[in-house]
């Protein structure tokens, strides 16, 4: 993965499981200093132990990313401890398994808060430090769902689509400050994302979807994400042939794609 992440201070949200955990392990191997955030402290401590990093190179920073008012304070804590923030990985996320007709407005608001507004709040907290450093990198975990809408994921699709608009704007605005933006669209990755997805009333869906169960291992996905970022790819697609085909069909032959989406089962 080159030496791109060596000695960089990297803040990862959603570091307590799945893709975020895998990114932490890969970044530790790549020589990064890590800041691990999520809500479950004991899981963050477990990930910290698994990195085998010395205590001075890893910080557990518990955070519910929907508490937007804490974003600036948390960024300042990192600066106090490490003096800089080189890379911000916006990875925390929650998916959805419910039809529009059944889903309460509260659920849409929660999904937008976790998957979209939290990244805005944290970006605004981190950006002043990156501008003063004249260096930085935002790695944003969107999804194929940020390009292709499918049933039972309307709020999730909307939030992931929103990330592309926001970060395409930011990329252009901060180019002259030597700040990079890589937006990543994974396909089906083998994590607990469907178990943790919200149902129509905001409860956990609690089922492992077949597509996730047979999806790409999280460590493989993490290595591909970091490779794309190190190469300064602006947008990266990571996943199986089906998901990649869907992205291209959405652009080249949308009417066919819409028909396929309609005919396929939600999972
Ligand atoms: P997981 O459910 O395993 O991980 C989700 C992570 O987000 C957890 O670490 C969780 O930590 C954290 N999180 C959720 N809500 C909050 C919150 N309010 N505050 C702080 N952290 C929060 O799923 P994945 O690893 O798969 O998901 C990671 C990212 O990858 C998400 O953005 C997801 O949308 C995206 N993605 C996943 C795909 C897949 O197939 N798995 C495909 C495409 C994109 P905690 O509960 O401890 O707070």
266 falls within a domain: no
Express each pLDDT in 5-62 by its tens digit: 999 999 999 999 999 999 999 999 999 999 999 999 999 999 999 999 999 999 999 9
Q: Is any ligand 1 atom within 6 A of the Cβ of residue 45? A: no
User: What span, in angstroms and rounded, lies between the C-alpha atoms of 96 and 99?
Assistant: 9
Give me the number of domains the chain comprises.
1
Express each pLDDT in 196-220 by its tens digit: 999 999 999 999 999 999 999 999 9
263 falls within a domain: no
Q: Is any ligand 1 atom within 6 A of the Cβ of residue 114? A: yes
267 falls within a domain: no
159 falls within a domain: yes
Instruction: Using most ligand atoms within 8 A of CB, pick from 22, 37, 38 the residue to mutate for ligand 1.
Output: 38
Domain carrying residue 72 = 3-240
121 falls within a domain: yes
230 falls within a domain: yes
248 falls within a domain: no
Residue 119, domain CATH = 3.40.50.720
255 falls within a domain: no
- Strand-strand pairing, 189-190 and 9-13: unpaired
Residue 88 confidence class, pLDDT cut points 50, 70, 90: very high
Residue 108 catalytic? Answer: no
Q: What is the distance in A from the centroid of ligand 1 to the CA of 104? A: 21
Q: Is any ligand 1 atom within 6 A of the Cβ of residue 146? A: no
Of these residues, 108, 129, 156, 188, which one is catalytic?
A: 156
């Amino acid at each position: 993965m080159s030496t791109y992440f060596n000695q960089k201070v990297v803040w990862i949200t959603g570091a307590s499981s799945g893709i975020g955990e895998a990114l932490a392990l890969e970044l530790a191997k790549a020589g990064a200093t890590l800041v691990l955030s999520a809500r479950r402290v004991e899981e963050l401590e477990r990930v910290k132990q698994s990195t085998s990093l010395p205590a001075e190179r890893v910080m557990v920073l518990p955070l519910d990313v929907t508490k937007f008012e804490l974003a600036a304070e948390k960024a300042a804590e990192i600066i106090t401890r490490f003096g800089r923030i080189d890379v911000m990985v916006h990875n925390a996320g929650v998916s959805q398994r419910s039809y529009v007709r059944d889903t309460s407005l509260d659920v849409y608001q929660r999904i937008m808060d976790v998957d979209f507004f939290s990244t805005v709040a944290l970006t605004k907290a981190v950006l002043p430090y990156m501008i003063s450093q004249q260096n930085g990198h935002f790695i944003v975990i969107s999804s194929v769902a940020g390009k292709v809408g499918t049933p039972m994921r309307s709020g999730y699709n909307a939030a992931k689509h929103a990330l592309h608009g926001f970060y395409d704007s930011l990329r252009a605005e901060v180019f002259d400050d030597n700040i990079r933006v890589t937006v990543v669209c994974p396909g089906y990755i083998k994590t607990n994302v469907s178990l943790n997805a919200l149902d129509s009333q905001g409860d956990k869906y609690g089922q492992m979807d077949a597509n996730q169960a047979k999806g790409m291992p999280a460590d493989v996905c993490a290595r591909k994400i970091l490779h794309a970022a190190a190469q300064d790819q602006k947008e990266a697609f990571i996943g199986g042939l089906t998901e990649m085909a869907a992205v291209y069909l959405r652009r080249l032959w949308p009417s066919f794609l819409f028909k396929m989406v309609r005919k396929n089962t939600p999972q």
